[in-house]
A and B are shown apart, each in its own frame.
Chain A
Amino acid sequence: MFGTRLRKTRPHAGDDRCVADLVAALGVERVRSDGAARLLASTDASIFRGGAAGPVCFPDSTPQVQACVRIAAVHRRPVVARGAGSGLTGAAAPLGSAVVVSTTRMNRVLEVDVENRTAWVGPGVINLDLTHHLGPHGLHFAPDPSSQQVCTIGGNVANNSGGPHCLAYGVTSAHILAMEVVLSDGEVVMLGGLDAEPAGYDLRGAFIGSEGMFGIATRIAVRLTPDPPAVRTLLLSFADVDSAAATVGAIIAAGLVPAAVEMMDRRCVEAVEDFVHAGYPRDAEAVLLIDVDGMAGGVEAQATKVDEIARGLGGRVRVAADEEERQLLWKGRKSAFGAIARIKPDYYLHDTVVPRGKLVEVLRAIHEIVDRHGLLVLNVFHAGDGNLHPIIAYDSRQPGMSEKVREAGREIIEVSLAAGGVLSGEHGIGVEKRDFMPLMFSDDDLDQQARLRGAFDGLCMMNPGKVLPSPHSCSDITELTEAKGDLWG
């Protein structure tokens, strides 16, 4: 069974000495080498299962992270940093019996500087906790992935995470000023800075989105965004998907940049209604959930324009009357994945981006692909920036089903790229899409990315086997036999 296979349950040869060294450096309470800890750290939120994790370390300071990395190097073991494990591409699933460095103890908001609108945080701080912490100051951290109740800021940095409100505010890279990073040789460097335009190459920008392969961030300076004084939420419903997609295009063409434009198709609406009763219209083929925010005048002007565009394209418009209704409408969106889990035991959540103008065409193609394979697809996605999230719900216990889902996934990638899109909008590459990278990049392109990786980690010991397909990935430090597999086994 793809979902449960563990390729390697035996500890790595020499594991005892490695564990002993880690315990000596960190203390016995910060190192776990039991089977349960290894099993928990062997996977992320995707269906991928890596090799068994090596010992799992829980450092609470930069020097302790340095110690983990140095000891791993002595024992010729790779290192995999781990936040909440909520990633969806297998990027945090260790290959080759890696020493896992969990950031969960480094979970303090270290300093909030209201005047400069910045905060220093540990990498293990949970995204939503940070925003709650900042509430009294009227500030928040703008990236809001759907997993924000569990995902960490360190993980957001590793994945350059997005979220519904990145349409107007930008993804994680636009909200990180500086990072203290432990490199694979144990050295500590400060990337970026708190001043307006730090000198030198933008190492900060290069590090963000490197999926744990460039080093481990141990302190992160985030940019804080003032809370908007006004926000209005509109729920638009349409008799067909084409009209909903056309509305998205017309909104952008009218020069509006709503804070969020989310789309859900009928199947998804039904699943959500059965689950949380958010009050979405069950008779609609597609709904758009839109936030406009800012000052009162702009909010009014944008809401009026969105209303006009939607009605002109045959849509029905409901405006949340108060905060309670607003929260309920958003609860529907944020519960979508939970709702889908009630339909089938397994689901495969995809993530590609296409030009906004190609949404209708690509959605049609996705339906065609999925129908041809006899599968069930639900769509809930960031329509405003063309970031598709088709969700294929299935039962992996049925023979041949996983293979069909896998094949459909590959075809979805191909139609997205052929439409002028990209492999991933916010989940990243990890193991899931590593072997698809040549569809988007030439050998020369990948060689440049491999050189950048080599400059950060010449030892190839930070999270090896991810992002870059062979032969662009180096695997000299460890037995990466497992890395030859892909997401599916």
Chain B
Amino acid sequence: MGLIRSPESDPILVDFASEIGSVGPVVVRGGGTHWDLGGGSDPAAREVRPPEGIVGIRAEEMTVEARAGTLVSELHEALRPFGQRTSLPESPGSTVGGTLAVGWSGIARLGRGQTRDSVLQVHYVSAEGRLITAGGPTVKNVSGFDMCRLLVGSLGTLGCMADMILRTRPIPEVEVWHRVVDVDPAEVLRRCRTSASILWDGRSTWVLSAGYRADVDSDLRALSELGSLRPDHPPDLPPIRWSRRPSDLFDMSRADAAVGRFVAEIGVGVVHTENPVEPSPPSPGTVALQRRIKDALDPTGRFNPGRRVGGI
């Protein structure tokens, strides 16, 4: 007999599970902000809306529980009076569940951490229509296998996320964007520890400085010694997003003109470009292992058919 709160105690989750059911292709649609990712969904799949609403803000624990359909912007709005937020990136209309299903981190990953590391517990519906608990409610937990990490970035192909507990972080005392021209972005990374984001388009560098006032001021003095500095907004990001090793980004300015305009996340390795680039294929052993995981958790392939995660 379990001693912790069962997801069955939330009738909204129970309704969601019965709507998912146990047969037939199904896809959960959040904000639809990245709907074509992984090749788009099979039109035969029945679309289900995720449950919405913030379940509880536990500011003293630095955690928050929200249902999957909650807007990330709404979540952060509710956390702001407590001086907290999550690592999840915000884009207009994006939901908490959708953001986890996609798994991407935001442009301030350098300072705010990765999306995948912020997930403590997930309630999801299994392929058999059962409500499952993965992880646990506390900020630290190694009880059982880490199903939470597996769900992040799985594009809804392994389970239908219903509700999640996320770790929150304090909002820094100061957060300010500047633009510097003609500096080596690697030098910014080395010298300015308050950099929560360093974006570089080959000419200009945008820096989000975040932290205590005295430290940000000290970093801004260092930045102004490197090049001319002025307050700015972050640049618009080109539409295609791909993943590289952080050091590969410095070669972008010499790269094939085919990528078009680019904005690189220095120190992280994500780069945003105008035009797509062929991603490197995953190793064959990994493809087979991923296939086995998909088959084990969704034996009939009913979750988000048509959508391909990685190489499978």
- A: residues with CB less than 8 A from B are 113, 115-117, 159-160, 162, 166, 170-171, 173-174, 183, 187-191, 194-206, 208-210, 226, 229, 249, 252-253, 255-257, 294-298, 300-301, 353-357, 382, 385-387, 414, 417-418, 420-429, 433, 437-442, 444-446, 448-449, 451-456, 458, 467-468
- B: residues with CB less than 8 A from A are 1-6, 58-62, 83-84, 103-105, 113-114, 116-117, 126, 128, 130-134, 136-150, 152-154, 158-159, 169-171, 173, 186, 193-194, 211-215, 217-219, 243-248, 265, 268-270, 279, 282-283, 285-287, 289-290, 292-297, 309-312
Asked if residues A449 and B145 are in contact (CB atoms below 8 Å), the reply is yes
Cα separation A449 to B193 with both chains bound (whole Å): 39
Report if A356-B61 is in contact (Cβ < 8 Å); known contacts: A115-B247, A206-B150, A208-B149.
Answer: yes
Residues on the B chain within 8 Å of A444, using CB: 126, 128, 130-132
Asked if residues A170 and B285 are in contact (CB atoms below 8 Å), the reply is no
Nearest Cβ distance between residue A197 and chain B, in whole angstroms?
A: 4
A190: nearest chain-B partner, CB-CB: B283
Cα separation A256 to B311 with both chains bound (whole Å): 42
Report if A297-B212 is in contact (Cβ < 8 Å); known contacts: A189-B286, A196-B265, A439-B2.
Answer: yes
Cα separation A354 to B102 with both chains bound (whole Å): 30
Residues on the B chain within 8 Å of A198, using CB: 243, 310
Residues on the B chain within 8 Å of A445, using CB: 132-134, 144
Cα separation A441 to B3 with both chains bound (whole Å): 9
Nearest Cβ distance between residue B134 and chain A, in whole angstroms?
A: 7
Q: Which 8 A-B pairs have the closest CB atoms?
A: A200-B310, A205-B149, A297-B214, A196-B269, A255-B170, A422-B136, A417-B3, A189-B285
Cα separation A300 to B218 with both chains bound (whole Å): 14
Asked if residues A455 and B293 are in contact (CB atoms below 8 Å), the reply is yes
Cα separation A296 to B245 with both chains bound (whole Å): 31
Asked if residues B144 and A449 are in contact (CB atoms below 8 Å), the reply is yes
Residues on the B chain within 8 Å of A429, using CB: 142-144
Asked if residues A385 and B138 are in contact (CB atoms below 8 Å), the reply is yes
Residues on the B chain within 8 Å of A252, using CB: 60-62
Partner of B3, one of A116, A354, A414: A414
Cα separation A160 to B137 with both chains bound (whole Å): 17
A353: nearest chain-B partner, CB-CB: B138
Residues on the A chain within 8 Å of B113, using CB: 170, 174
Cα separation A256 to B172 with both chains bound (whole Å): 10
Report if A202-B60 is in contact (Cβ < 8 Å); known contacts: A385-B139, A420-B4.
Answer: no
- Most B CB atoms within 10 A — which of A255, A385, A387, A428? A255
Could you jot down 10 A-B contacts, CB within 8 Å? Answer: A190-B283, A190-B286, A197-B105, A297-B217, A298-B215, A418-B3, A421-B138, A441-B133, A448-B132, A455-B289
Residues on the B chain within 8 Å of A205, using CB: 116, 146, 148-150, 152
Report if A206-B149 is in contact (Cβ < 8 Å); known contacts: A189-B285, A300-B214, A425-B140.
Answer: yes
Nearest Cβ distance between residue B36 and chain A, in whole angstroms?
A: 16
Cα separation A173 to B147 with both chains bound (whole Å): 13
Asked if residues A162 and B140 are in contact (CB atoms below 8 Å), the reply is yes
Cα separation A166 to B294 with both chains bound (whole Å): 32
Residues on the B chain within 8 Å of A190, using CB: 283, 285-286
Asked if residues B296 and A455 are in contact (CB atoms below 8 Å), the reply is yes
Cα separation A414 to B4 with both chains bound (whole Å): 10
Cα separation A427 to B141 with both chains bound (whole Å): 9
Report if A297-B215 is in contact (Cβ < 8 Å); known contacts: A201-B153, A203-B290, A439-B3.
Answer: yes
A437: nearest chain-B partner, CB-CB: B144
Cα separation A260 to B225 with both chains bound (whole Å): 34
Report if A201-B293 is in contact (Cβ < 8 Å); known contacts: A174-B114, A190-B283.
Answer: yes
Cα separation A202 to B186 with both chains bound (whole Å): 28
Asked if residues A453 and B145 are in contact (CB atoms below 8 Å), the reply is yes
Asked if residues A160 and B142 are in contact (CB atoms below 8 Å), the reply is yes
Residues on the A chain within 8 Å of B3, using CB: 414, 417-418, 439-440
Nearest Cβ distance between residue B82 and chain A, in whole angstroms?
A: 9
Residues on the B chain within 8 Å of A257, using CB: 169-170
Residues on the A chain within 8 Å of B283, using CB: 189-190
Partner of A386, one of B139, B148, B248, B282: B139
Nearest Cβ distance between residue B124 and chain A, in whole angstroms?
A: 9
Residues on the A chain within 8 Å of B4, using CB: 417, 420, 439-440
A256: nearest chain-B partner, CB-CB: B170
Asked if residues A166 and B140 are in contact (CB atoms below 8 Å), the reply is yes
Asked if residues B60 and A249 are in contact (CB atoms below 8 Å), the reply is yes
Residues on the A chain within 8 Å of B153, using CB: 197, 201-202
Residues on the A chain within 8 Å of B244, using CB: 195-196
Asked if residues A115 and B146 are in contact (CB atoms below 8 Å), the reply is no
- Most B CB atoms within 10 A — which of A162, A452, A467? A452
Nearest Cβ distance between residue B25 and chain A, in whole angstroms?
A: 20
Asked if residues A187 and B285 are in contact (CB atoms below 8 Å), the reply is yes
Cα separation A425 to B103 with both chains bound (whole Å): 24
Asked if residues A354 and B138 are in contact (CB atoms below 8 Å), the reply is yes
Asked if residues B2 and A425 are in contact (CB atoms below 8 Å), the reply is no
Asked if residues A295 and B211 are in contact (CB atoms below 8 Å), the reply is yes
Nearest Cβ distance between residue A118 and chain B, in whole angstroms?
A: 9
A188: nearest chain-B partner, CB-CB: B285
Cα separation A229 to B222 with both chains bound (whole Å): 15
Asked if residues A442 and B104 are in contact (CB atoms below 8 Å), the reply is no
Asked if residues B268 and A196 are in contact (CB atoms below 8 Å), the reply is yes
Asked if residues B142 and A209 are in contact (CB atoms below 8 Å), the reply is yes
Cα separation A300 to B141 with both chains bound (whole Å): 31
Apart from A445-B132, A452-B293, 14 more pairs, CB < 8 Å? A113-B247, A116-B247, A160-B146, A174-B114, A187-B285, A189-B285, A196-B269, A196-B270, A226-B193, A253-B59, A353-B136, A355-B58, A385-B140, A440-B143
Asked if residues B61 and A449 are in contact (CB atoms below 8 Å), the reply is no
B312: nearest chain-A partner, CB-CB: A200
Report if A297-B218 is in contact (Cβ < 8 Å); known contacts: A116-B247, A440-B4, A452-B147.
Answer: yes
Nearest Cβ distance between residue B7 and chain A, in whole angstroms?
A: 9
Asked if residues B246 and A295 are in contact (CB atoms below 8 Å), the reply is no
Nearest Cβ distance between residue A274 and chain B, in whole angstroms?
A: 30
Cα separation A190 to B309 with both chains bound (whole Å): 16
B216: nearest chain-A partner, CB-CB: A297
Report if A159-B138 is in contact (Cβ < 8 Å); known contacts: A298-B212, A455-B289.
Answer: no
Residues on the A chain within 8 Å of B293, using CB: 201, 203, 206, 452, 455
Report if A203-B193 is in contact (Cβ < 8 Å); known contacts: A386-B139, A451-B296.
Answer: no
Residues on the A chain within 8 Å of B114, using CB: 174
A442: nearest chain-B partner, CB-CB: B2
Cα separation A148 to B169 with both chains bound (whole Å): 27
A187: nearest chain-B partner, CB-CB: B285
Report if A448-B117 is in contact (Cβ < 8 Å); known contacts: A202-B149, A357-B60.
Answer: no
Nearest Cβ distance between residue A55 and chain B, in whole angstroms?
A: 27
B211: nearest chain-A partner, CB-CB: A298
Residues on the A chain within 8 Å of B143, using CB: 422-424, 429, 433, 437, 440-441
